[in-house]
Amino acid sequence: MKFFDAEATRAALPFDKLIDSIRDMFAKGCEVPLRHNHAIPGRTDEKNSVLIMPAWNQGEYLGIKTVTIFPNNANHSLPGLFSTYILYSAVTGEPLAYLDGNEITSRRTAAASALAASLIAPVRAKRQLIVGAGRVGSVVPDAYLAVLPIEEFLIWDTNKDNAHKLVNRLKDEGLDASIVDDLAQAAQQSDIITCATLAQTPYIDGSWLKPGTHLDLIGSFAPHMHEAKSNCFAGDVRLFVDTDEALMKSGDLLTPMGEGVFSRKDVAGTLADLVAQKGDVDRPPQQRTVFKAVGTALEDLATAVLVLSNT
């Protein structure tokens, strides 16, 4: 059984190869049961939980990820999520590798987001606003630069230290990046907006979004979590989801659906549908797009297999 710590896992996952690996897995498919989601009691104001996410492809690999979500960890100077991942043989059940689940989760999340954007976002998108500069948000620029010609990154986070850290790193790499304090103004100026937070109260207002904006929501994976107000899904907008499970899990979708803003039949497709179209997707320049992801064990499996194959 091989052991991959955070550094080794990260080194085996360059975003160009990772995005291709995830695209291939969506095209090929694998078995993905619904995730287990269990509440973990905490203090009265905490909504902690644990996720158990299995996936396998017959005759090849079986992977299982566990994720603990403790949203108030910022008060303890800790990330809100911790993950572990074990990859097995799907033929014998033999454990093959233990991988750093945090790196698996953050990099596959950003990679799937970038993959979707490469298929539906404006082809001339130049400015990206990133809301949330934590573990996932901090790697979003790297993922997007692998597929789109982004020239400027605007960074907003309630944690100014995280925002400064990301901006300084991007500047050190020769990229145009800055911290923004006025979220509404930054959103109005951006071609792509990516939210990667554990927010329970929405940050993004639909009235801020200009025609043609691509809104990328990758933080809300439970009914009580929200990053965007319901009006983000109203008007001339096409909505895509990573999988149909998003429609059962995310507060960003459940709330506007409950309010009658849109229904399941209004969803334009899943990431698998987009991949099957091989980039042949109409992109009206004035039409907004939304990609809502809750994550899928398919992406985790593709990522873990790539780590093993790269060593």
- Give the C-alpha separation, 39 to 111, whole Å: 28
Per-residue confidence band for 279, with pLDDT thresholds at 50, 70 and 90 = low
Q: Which position has the higher pLDDT, 283 or 308?
A: 308
Contacts of residue 129, defined as CB under 8 A and 6 or more positions apart, other chains included, come to 153, 154, 155, 156, 180, 186, 187, 189, 190, 192, 193, 194
Q: Which position has the higher pLDDT, 63 or 75?
A: 63
Taking only the tens place, the pLDDT of each residue in 136-186 is 999 999 999 999 999 999 999 999 999 999 999 999 999 999 999 999 999
Q: What is the model's pLDDT at position 44?
A: 63
Q: Which position has the higher pLDDT, 30 or 36?
A: 30
CATH 3.30.1780.10 range(s) for the chain read: 2-104+298-309
Mean pLDDT throughout 274-290?
86
Edge-to-edge strand list for the sheet holding 95-100: 2-4, 95-100, 81-89, 61-69, 48-56, 36-40
CA distances, 178 to each of 87, 114, 136, 137 (Å):
39, 21, 18, 14
Q: For the chain, what percent of residues have pLDDT higher than 90?
A: 85
Taking only the tens place, the pLDDT of each residue in 95-106 is 999 999 999 999
Taking only the tens place, the pLDDT of each residue in 190-231 is 999 999 998 999 999 999 999 999 999 999 988 999 999 999
CATH 3.40.50.720 range(s) for the chain read: 106-295
CATH superfamily, with its number, for domain 2-104+298-309? ornithine cyclodeaminase, domain 1 (3.30.1780.10)
**CATH T-level topology, domain 106-295:** Rossmann fold (3.40.50)
Residue 45 has pLDDT above 70, yes or no: no
Q: What is the model's pLDDT at position 77?
A: 84
Q: Which position has the higher pLDDT, 261 or 47?
A: 261
- Give the C-alpha separation, 139 to 143, whole Å: 7
pLDDT averaged over every residue in the chain = 94
